[in-house]
Structure 1
Amino acid sequence: MMFTTQKQVRFHHCDPAGIVFYPQYFYLLHEVQEDFLAHIGFPEHALIAGGHGLPIIDLKTEFLGMCRHGENLTMTLALTRIGSTSIGMRYQIHGAPSAPGQATSLRLNAHGVVVYLALSPGRAVRIPDALRSALHPYLQTTPGKT
C-alpha cells in the first residue's frame, strides 16, 4: 500500500520563472512524511514531545521533470524497509496529466532512510512495536507494486 496526498505548488516554492526551486522539493518530501506519520496515528509533533524523532540520514533524488506554480501534484510515500532502528522510504511526485484522460507524469523519484532517534542522548533506538505495526501495511518489498 502507498500513502498518497495532494499538494499545490505555491509561489514560495518557485524561482522567478515559476518553476519549483530544487531545494523546495526537500520541504515537500518532509511534508509528505509528516502527513504520513499523522495518517498512521503518530504525528511528528507528538513523537518530538515524547522525546523521539525521525531525522533523515540518507536521501537520493532524481529530478525527472519540472513542476510549475499553481500545478496540483500527487505525492506518494511507500516503505522499502523497516529495520530495528531505521525505515527506508520511497517518495514520488507526479504532475497533473498534460491532457484529460492521460496519465500523470513522474517528476521526482526519491529514496531515503530515516532513523528512530531518542532526542536525548541523540542516538538511534529500536522502533516501538506500536509504530512498527502501523508502518507495516505500507511496506513494499518490490518497488512500484502496491
Structure 2
Amino acid sequence: MNFSTTAKVRFADVDPAGIVFYPRYFEMLNAAVEDWFAAMGWDFDLMHRRRKIGVPTVKLEAQFIVPSELGEVLDITLDVRKLGRSSCALRVTFSCENVERLHADVVLVCMDLEKRHSIAWPDELRPLIEGETVPA
C-alpha cells in the first residue's frame, strides 16, 4: 500500500540559506501521515478524540539527499514496508520534479492514549493499512 500527497515549501519552512530547515521536513512528514489516515477514513479527530487511539512515531531515520527550496512543491509518498500487531514500518520519500530530496524510514505504533501503551491495530483499520479493499 502506498499513499501520495504534496506539500508546498513555504517561507516559514526555509532557513536563512533559503533551503528547507530539516525539522520542517518532519512536520511535513507528520502532516502526510495525518492525511494518509484521513484518506483511509480514520482522521485524527476520530482516532484521538473519539477512539482514544494515537499513532506516535517511535523510530525515525532520515537521509537528506538534495536541498529543497522556497516555492517548490514536494511530492511525498508513504509506502508501507511492514505491518505488525501494533507497529507499522513506512518508507517516506520526498521528491520534486522526479528528483529524490529525502527519504525516511519511520515506525508508527498504535497506542491506547488513556492507558499509554501499544495496542493491536483495530480490525477495521488493519486491512486499510494493508491496502486491501474493504467490503461495504
TM-score (norm 2): 0.93
What CA RMSD, in Å, does the superposition of the two structures yield over aligned residues? 1.1
Tell me how far apart the structure 2 counterparts of residues 86 and 58 of structure 1 sit (CA, whole Å).
10
Are 2:107 and 1:106 aligned?
A: no
Give structure 1 stretches of 5+ with no counterpart: 97-103, 139-146
Q: Which amino acid aligns with 1:109?
A: H
Tell me how far apart the structure 2 counterparts of residues 129 and 111 of structure 1 sit (CA, whole Å).
25
Q: Runs of 4 or more off by more than 3 Å in structure 1? A: none
Deviations 1:71-103 (A, max 9, x none): 01111001011111111111000012xxxxxxx
Are 2:133 and 1:132 aligned?
A: no
Q: Which amino acid aligns with 1:108?
A: L
SS in 1 for 2:107: strand
Q: Which amino acid aligns with 1:7?
A: A
Q: Which amino acid aligns with 1:42?
A: W
2:114 alignment partner, one of 112, 120, 123? 120
Are 2:61 and 1:60 aligned?
A: yes
Tell me how far apart the structure 1 counterparts of residues 52 and 128 of structure 2 sit (CA, whole Å).
19
Tell me how far apart the structure 2 counterparts of residues 51 and 40 of structure 1 sit (CA, whole Å).
17
Tell me how far apart the structure 2 counterparts of residues 38 and 86 of structure 1 sit (CA, whole Å).
18
In the other structure, the counterpart of 1:100 is: none
Are 2:90 and 1:89 aligned?
A: yes
- Residue 17 of structure 1 deviates from its aligned partner by 2.0
Paired residue total: 131
In the other structure, the counterpart of 1:142 is: none
Q: Which amino acid aligns with 2:45?
A: H
- Residue 46 of structure 1 deviates from its aligned partner by 1.3
